[in-house]
Amino acid sequence: MTEIPHVLILGGGFGGLSTSTEIRNSLSSDQVKITVIDKKDWFMVGFAKLWILNGSRTFENSIGSLQELEKKEINFIKEEITSIDLENKNVKTSKQSISYDYLLISLGAVLAPEKIPGLVEHGFNLYDHNQLLEIRNKLENIESGKIAISIMGMPYKCPPAPFEASLLIDSMLRKMGKRDSVEIHFYSPAPITLPAAGPEVSKQILDLINSERITFHNSSKIKSVESQKLIFENGEDDFDLLLAVPPHIAPQVIYDSKLAKESGFIPIDRDCKTSFENVYAVGDVTSLVVTETAAVPKAGVFAEGEGLAVAKNIIGKIQGIDDSTLFDGKGGCFIESGKDTASLIEVDMFTNEKPTTNLTESTPENLSKKHDFEKERLTKWLS
């Protein structure tokens, strides 16, 4: 009897969960062994963080348990990955050494607030789930002053999310009757709100936040943070509460294995292959350049789509059929208005010569589609 091939998946986020589920839905445990490793044993759809921030959700009600994978005969190991040996097809964790026939690297991006001097001491990390309750507490207690939302590095996860955060915070303050005494300022190193979505959608997003009296400061490249002061390359501004989107980097184990250059991400193409045979990479840990000025944004929906392409290729290889599926580059991100509606930025990265985007109307139906998006993923991957 030939040995059952082993697919090892590093990271139980959007990319790892879509790949492992798709492979298991097509091949039984007699045909393939699948293992997912993650240092934590839960998964959350990223946008739920903003619901925890505005008090409409708790952390406990927003996560699915990765232990559920075992029900699908997908092994789950909760351990820290410490090294990836691509020559010898072996991955080490804090406790063991695991060999593989196929490897998927879907380790996501790491938030690196320490890269901005003074940020850890003087500001909050908007994307860190551990800080959300403290941020909410600050928002509930602010009486007057200036809230600064600052993007401190590009690329970052889910480009519309900080804008959505500004709208949800505006809504919170309005409901508390404090909006007139609190200013909201938004700083970005980019010249327009959403470079990844192009000038037209960027203008629509600008109009949307301006209509809620949120001031957008473009081309504001951060140098450092001091007590109640942001220092940019081209000036300074003061704040009372700072909510930052810190620079993103890849996990250290990626740099140690030389899969990416320092501070960068793993370069991939639409087949999501690396230069090592049967080693694939997807999602936030990668960089997929589309044109000179555009790359696939860091978003769960794209990590999921890339994961599906990898799953089809691994299934094809195991069955000896075909491994030429390409990531289709289609997806969308919701933007909630704070007024019980949401719009959707629809993205198509590859069908035309350059990526195309479209912002839909903000409607209650889109908001319920956003809730469905979360429910569907938690159900199909982790129940």
Which residues lie near ligand FAD (CB under 6 A)? Answer: 11-16, 37-40, 46-47, 49-50, 80-81, 106-108, 127, 157-158, 161, 251, 253, 283-285, 298-301, 303, 333-334
Q: What is the DSSP letter of 363?
A: B
Write the CA distances from 161 to 66, 193, 244, 273, 293, integer angstroms.
25, 11, 12, 29, 21
Q: How far is the CB of 357 from ligand FAD (least distance, A)?
A: 14
CB of 276 to ligand FAD, least distance (A): 18
User: For helices 14-26 and 300-319, what crossing angle results, to 10°?
Assistant: 30
Nearest to 307 by CA among 292, 335, 285: 285
The residue written with tokens 């003061």 in the block is 238
| 160 or 198: CB nearest ligand FAD | 160
CA 146 to chain centre: 27
Q: Residue 6's Cα: distance from chain center in Å?
A: 27
CB-based contact 6:100 (threshold 8 Å): yes
Among residues 251 and 329, whose Cβ is nearest to ligand FAD? 251
> Least distance (Å) from ligand FAD to the CB of residue 180?
27
CA–CA separation, 317 vs 110, rounded Å? 31
Smallest gap from residue 248 Cβ to ligand FAD (A): 10
Least gap, CB of 282 to ligand FAD (angstroms): 6
**Nearest distance in Å: CB 43, ligand FAD:** 7
Q: Which residue has the tokens 């699908």?
A: 72
- Whole-angstrom distance between the N-terminal and C-terminal Cα of the chain? 33
By beta-carbon proximity to ligand FAD, the closer residue of 206 and 347 is 347
Nearer to ligand FAD, 38 or 323 (CB): 38
**Beta carbon of residue 232, minimum distance to ligand FAD (angstroms, whole number):** 23
Q: Is 283 left (phi over 0), alpha (psi -120 to 50) or beta?
A: left
Closest CB to ligand FAD among residues 4, 154: 154
Between residues 47 and 187, which has the closer beta carbon with respect to ligand FAD?
47
Nearer to ligand FAD, 33 or 157 (CB): 157
CA distances in angstroms from 382 to 42, 69, 244, listed in the order given: 10, 6, 31
